[in-house]
C-alpha cells in the first residue's frame, strides 16, 4: 500500500489556502512540497508557503483564525521572526505548523499547479534544500541546479582530498 505523505489536516489546510484569493501569490515549497509532490520519500509535519510580496500581517492573523475554525483546532499560536509568519494549530489531530514567508527572489521555474495549489518547482525546492544543507543563507540570489552540482562536487573533492592526506 502506498504511503500517504500528507495528513488530512494538511490536505484541508492546503485546500483552504488555495481557495483564498488574498493568498493567490503564495506557493507551497520546502520539505513537504518535495515529499508530497515529487519524491514521496517521507512524512512532513509543516507547510511552507512563500510569496514574493510583503505579507499582510493583519490579514494573516484573521485568516489564521478562520483556518483554526475550518480545521476545528482548539488553539492557534502565532510567531513572527523577520519575514517568517508561523502558525501552529493544535487540535484532536495533533499539531499542524504553517508558515507564510516572503521570498523576494525570482524562481528558477514557474510553480506547478496541482488541484488549484501552486507548488514550487522541483528545481526550486531542490535548489533551496541544497542551499540549506550547504549552509548558504536564504537571502542570497537563487542558483541553478548546475551551480549546486558544481558546488557539491567541489566540496566532495575537498573532503576526499582531506581524508586521503
Instruction: Read off the pLDDT of each residue in 123-143 and give the average, rounded to a whole number.
Output: 67
Q: Which domains does the chain have, with CATH numbers?
A: 8-164 (3.10.450.620)
Q: How far apart are CA 60 and CA 20, in angstroms?
A: 11
Q: What's the predicted TM-score (pTM) here?
A: 0.78
| CA-to-CA dists, residue 55 to 85, 98, 99, 139, angstroms | 8, 14, 11, 17
Residue 108: strand pairing partners: none
pLDDT digit string, tens, across residues 138-164: 544 555 666 666 666 666 666 666 555
Question: Would the pLDDT of 2 be above 50?
Answer: no
Q: How far apart are CA 130 and CA 22, in angstroms?
A: 30
28, 47 in Cβ contact below 8 A?
A: yes
Amino acid at each position: 500500500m502506498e504511503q500517504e505523505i500528507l495528513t488530512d489536516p494538511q490536505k484541508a489546510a492546503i485546500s483552504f489556502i488555495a481557495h483564498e484569493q488574498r493568498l493567490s501569490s503564495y506557493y507551497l515549497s520546502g520539505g513537504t512540497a518535495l515529499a508530497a509532490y515529487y519524491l514521496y520519500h517521507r512524512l512532513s509535519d509543516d507547510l511552507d508557503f512563500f510569496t514574493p510580496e510583503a505579507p499582510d500581517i493583519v490579514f494573516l492573523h484573521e485568516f489564521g483564525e478562520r483556518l483554526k475554525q475550518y480545521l476545528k483546532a482548539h488553539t492557534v499560536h502565532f510567531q513572527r521572526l523577520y519575514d517568517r509568519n508561523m502558525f501552529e494549530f493544535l487540535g484532536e489531530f495533533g499539531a499542524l505548523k504553517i508558515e507564510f514567508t516572503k521570498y523576494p527572489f525570482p524562481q528558477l521555474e514557474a510553480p506547478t499547479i496541482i488541484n488549484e495549489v501552486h507548488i514550487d518547482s522541483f528545481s526550486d525546492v531542490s535548489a533551496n534544500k541544497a542551499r540549506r544543507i550547504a549552509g548558504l543563507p536564504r537571502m542570497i540570489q537563487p542558483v541553478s541546479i548546475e551551480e549546486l552540482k558544481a558546488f557539491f562536487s567541489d566540496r566532495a573533492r575537498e573532503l576526499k582530498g582531506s581524508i586521503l592526506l
